A and B are shown apart, each in its own frame.
Chain A
Amino acid sequence: MMPVQNPIDDSRQNSVAIRLEDVSKRFRLGTIGEHQRLTEAISSRLKSLFNPHAGASNTQPKDFWALKNISFDIQRSEVVGIIGHNGAGKSTLLKILSRIVTPSSGRVGVQGRIGSLLEVGTGFHPELTGRENIFLNGAILGMKRTEIRNRFDQIVEFAEIGPFLDTPVKRYSSGMTVRLGFSVAAHMEPDVLIIDEVLSVGDQAFQNRCMGKATELGNQGRAILVVSHNLAAISNICSRAILLEQGSIALDASPKETIRKYLQSMRYDAGRIQWEPDQAPASQEVRLHAVSVRNATNLSSANQVDIDQPIVIELDYEVLVQGAFNTVQIHLKDENGVFVFSSANAPSMSLQTDETFGKPLDVARYRTECTVPANFLNDSRYILSVFLGPQVGKPTIQCDSVLAFSVLDTGAMRKEFLGSWYGPVIRPRLAWSSRPIDSY
C-alpha cells in the first residue's frame, strides 16, 4: 500500500517485485456451494457426528488442483506474459497474485502496490456522480486521497467526461462509464500491473489502450503481468512468458519458445468429427463419415490452425448406390454468424477440376478436400457447414455448423503492425505496389 517516491537507482532492475513460493490452490469439487444453507451445514455436521459413514458416498469431495507448486520470481521492470489453455489456472494465478484468493499452500510476496486493469469500473456506484465515483473507485484501488486529488484533472481529461462530472454515473453511456473506470485505473500507477485481457471488458480499442498502458508502465520500470490470447501481443510486449498447463508451469522462457510450445500443445484436440455408420448423416445415395480441418503441412486434424498455412477441409463419405452423382458444398461463417464464403467442388468454383464432379460414381469411399489459402482468414473462430447432394444448391445431406475451428495468429502478418486485426472477417494478403507518377 505504500507508494515509495524516492529516486531510483539502477539495482532496481534486479529486484524482486513478485515472488511465488510453492503456491498451490485446491478447490473442493462438490463442496463449493453445497452447504449454502446453514441448516444443511449443521445437519450434515450432526449426521457425520452420529454416523461417520453416512453421506460419505454421495458427497465424496473431489479435490481439484487449480494450481500446483508454482514458484517464480518476477523482477521489477519485467513484462511477463502468461499463456495457457482455458482452465489451465491463469485466472486463479492472477487472483492469488492480487490477493483476492488465498492459496491452499505456499506463499506470495509482493513489493509495492498491485493494480490490475481487469476490474475497470468495479465498485462504481450508479447513484454517485462521476466526481464521487472517481474518489470511491480510486480508494478501492488503493490510492490515497491526496494522490487522487493530484491526478484528478488528468483522470477527468483522459476519460473525456468533463461536462458530466457532476452527473450520476447511472446516466452515463456505457462507453463513458468504461472510459472513466479505465482512466481511474490507468492513473493509479501501481508497482505491479496485472492485465487480464481474457476477463477485461470493453471493445478492442479499449483493450489496445490496456496494452498501450502496459508498454508505458513497463518503460517506467514496473513489473507487468499480461494474460492474453493474443500471442502476437505477448511476443512483442513481453520479455518473458510462462506457459501454464493444468495448473503447473510447463515452460518459463522467452516468449518465442513458450509460444512455440503452447502452439504445439494446442494440437491435442482434433478438429474432426466422425460418425458411426448408423448415426451418420446420410441420404439414400451417400453417407457422410467424417469432416475434419487441418493445416496443409500437418497430416493430423486440429481445431486450431495456423494463419500462415493453407487450411484443408476434408470430407470422407461413402457412395452407397452405383452410378450416383454427388457434389460437395461448404459454408463458412464466423462466430457472429457473418457468412464468410460459400464454395463447392463445381468446376467454375474450383481452381482445379474435381474428378468426381458431374460423373456417375462407383460404390466406394471418397475423400473430398478443399484448400483455403494461407493468409486469407483472420485470427478468429470459424464455423463450418457442409452440404452434399446430387446437384449444387440442392443438398440431400445438410450438416449445419458441423465443425468449429480457430485460426491462430502466428505473427506472420505482424512484422510492421502489432495492433489488433479485430473487425474484418478475412485478412487476405493482397498485391500492393506504389510508384511515382507524373501528374503534370
Chain B
Amino acid sequence: MVRVRRRSARQREPKDGLFTVNRATSAKAPKEQDLRFYGQPDPLGLRQLKEAWDSRELLLSFFQRDLLIRYRQVFVGVLWVLIQPLLGTLIFLLLFYFMGAQGTASGSTTAFWKDASVILLGMLLWQLVNNSLRDATGSLVNYRHVITKIYFPRMLLPLSSLLCALFDLAVGGVLLIPLAAWFGEGVHWSTSWAGLLAVIWLALFCFGAILWLSSLNAQYRDVGYVLPFLMQIGMFLSPVVYGFERIESSLSYFWQVVYCTNPVASCIGLARWGLLGSPLPPILGLVLAALLTLSLVVSSLVWFQRSDQWMADRI
C-alpha cells in the first residue's frame, strides 16, 4: 500500500521557492506551434518514410531482435544462412545431372562449376525475395498485441524482415560467390556494378511487395495462406534454377520481354550478366520491369499510409 501525496500541495505552490519541485529534467516551455499534430495529409506516403527514418534506432532493435531470435537454441547457428542455399543448389545440380540438362551432364568440370555458381546466385537472390516476403507478411499480424497498444511507425516491422533477408544475402554472397567463382570462370569485376544494382533493385521490389502484403494480411489473413503457393510458382517463373539461356533459346523476343517484366527475373538476369557473364535479358524487358517496380513501390507507400489509419481497428 502506498501513500499518495495530496495533489493540492502543488496548487498552493508559492513563488518563494519553498516547494520547489525538481525540474532539472523537465522539458523547456513548448510553444503552441511545438504541438505535433497526428495524421497530417500525406497523399504520397512520404511523411511516413521520414518518420520511419527518424526511428531508425527502433528498426535496428527490431532487426537485432529478429536476428537474435533466429539463432537462439539453434545448434549450427548462423551456418543456416549458408546451408540453405548450398543444399538447394546441390539438389538442383544433382537433379539436372540425372536429367542430363545443362552443362552438368557434359562432364566438364568448368561447366559444372559454372552451373553451380549460376544456380547459387539465383538461389541467393531468390532467398532474398522468398524470406523477406514470407517473414514480412505475418510481421504486423504477429505483432498485433503491440500494435494495438503502442504507436510506432508500423512500417518498421516488415522492414526489419527485409533487413534480415538482406543480411542473409550479404553473408551468403560474401562467402559463396567467390567460392563458386574460384572453381568457375571467376567474377566479372568490370561489370559487377550491375550485380549491386540488381540487389538494390530487388530490395526495392521486396520493399514494395512487403508493404502491400503485410498490410493486406493485417486485414485479410488469406494473404498469408496463398503466399507460399505463389512463391512456389514464382520460383519457376524466375530464372532461379536455370540460366537465362534457356529462355533465350526457347522463347521468341516478345515472350522474352514478357518474361522479363517480372522484376525478379530481370534482377537475377541482370546480376548474372554483371557477375558471371551470362547473357543480358532484353533491355525493353528490364525497363518494363523497372517501371513496374517503381509503380509497386509508390503504390505500396500510398496504400500503407492509408492502411496505417485503420491498422489498430481491424488487425
Contact = CB atoms under 8 A, between A and B. Distances in A.
Asked if A pairs with B, the answer is: yes
Interface of A: 1, 3-9, 11-12, 15-17, 19, 27, 32-33, 35-39, 41, 76-77, 79, 95, 98-103, 107-112, 116, 118-119, 122-123, 125, 127-128, 132, 135-136, 139-142, 144-145, 168, 189, 191, 205, 208-209, 211-212, 215, 218-222, 233, 236-239, 417-420
Given A107-B38, A219-B10, A128 B68 contact: yes
Interface of B: 1-7, 10-11, 21-23, 25-32, 34-39, 54-55, 57-58, 60-62, 64-65, 68-69, 72-73, 143, 145-152, 216, 219-223, 308-310, 312-314
A128 B29 CA distance: 39
Most buried by B among A11, A41, A111, A222: A111
A238 B7 contact: yes
Contacts of A38: 216, 220, 222-223
A100 B150 contact: yes
Contact of A101 (B6, B27, B222, B313): B313
Contacts of A99: 38, 151
A140 B58 contact: yes
B33 to A, nearest CB: 10
A6 B23 CA distance: 11
A221 B21 contact: yes
Given A16-B35, A139-B58, A218-B10, A8 B309 contact: no
A78 to B, nearest CB: 10
Nearest to B30: A111
B8 to A, nearest CB: 8
A208 B32 CA distance: 33
B21 A219 contact: yes
B310 to A, nearest CB: 7
A15 B7 contact: no
A343 B123 CA distance: 79
Contacts of B58: 139-140, 142
A32 B31 contact: no
Interface of A is mostly: loop
Most buried by B among A3, A108, A209: A108
B7 A32 contact: no
28 contacts: A4-B27, A9-B29, A12-B27, A12-B30, A15-B29, A16-B30, A38-B216, A76-B29, A102-B309, A107-B38, A108-B39, A111-B34, A122-B150, A123-B146, A128-B68, A132-B68, A139-B60, A140-B58, A140-B152, A168-B72, A208-B2, A212-B4, A219-B10, A220-B21, A220-B26, A221-B26, A222-B26, A419-B1
B220 A37 contact: yes
Given A135-B61, A189-B25, A419 B2 contact: yes
Contact of A112 (B2, B27, B61, B223): B27
Contact of A6 (B27, B65, B151): B27
A186 to B, nearest CB: 14
A208 B2 CA distance: 6
B2 A41 contact: no
A1 B54 contact: yes
Nearest to B65: A136
A251 to B, nearest CB: 19
Contact of A79 (B7, B54, B65, B73): B7
Contact of B312 (A95, A111, A205, A237): A95
A238 B309 CA distance: 32
A110 B36 contact: yes
B294 to A, nearest CB: 25
Contacts of B26: 8, 12, 220-222
B57 A4 contact: no
Given A112-B27, A118-B149, A236 B314 contact: no
B38 A102 contact: yes
A237 B57 CA distance: 35
Nearest to B223: A38
Contact of A128 (B55, B65, B309): B65
A98 B146 CA distance: 13
A108 B37 contact: yes
B4 A211 contact: yes
A2 to B, nearest CB: 9
List 8 A-B pairs, minimum CB-CB distance, nearest first. A109-B35, A99-B151, A139-B61, A419-B1, A38-B220, A208-B2, A6-B28, A102-B309
B152 A111 contact: no
Contacts of B7: 79, 215, 218, 236-239
Given A12-B30, A112-B30, 14 more contacts: A16-B32, A35-B220, A36-B221, A41-B220, A76-B27, A100-B147, A102-B310, A123-B146, A127-B72, A128-B68, A139-B62, A208-B2, A215-B5, A236-B7
Nearest to A144: B57
B146 A102 contact: no
A102 B38 CA distance: 8
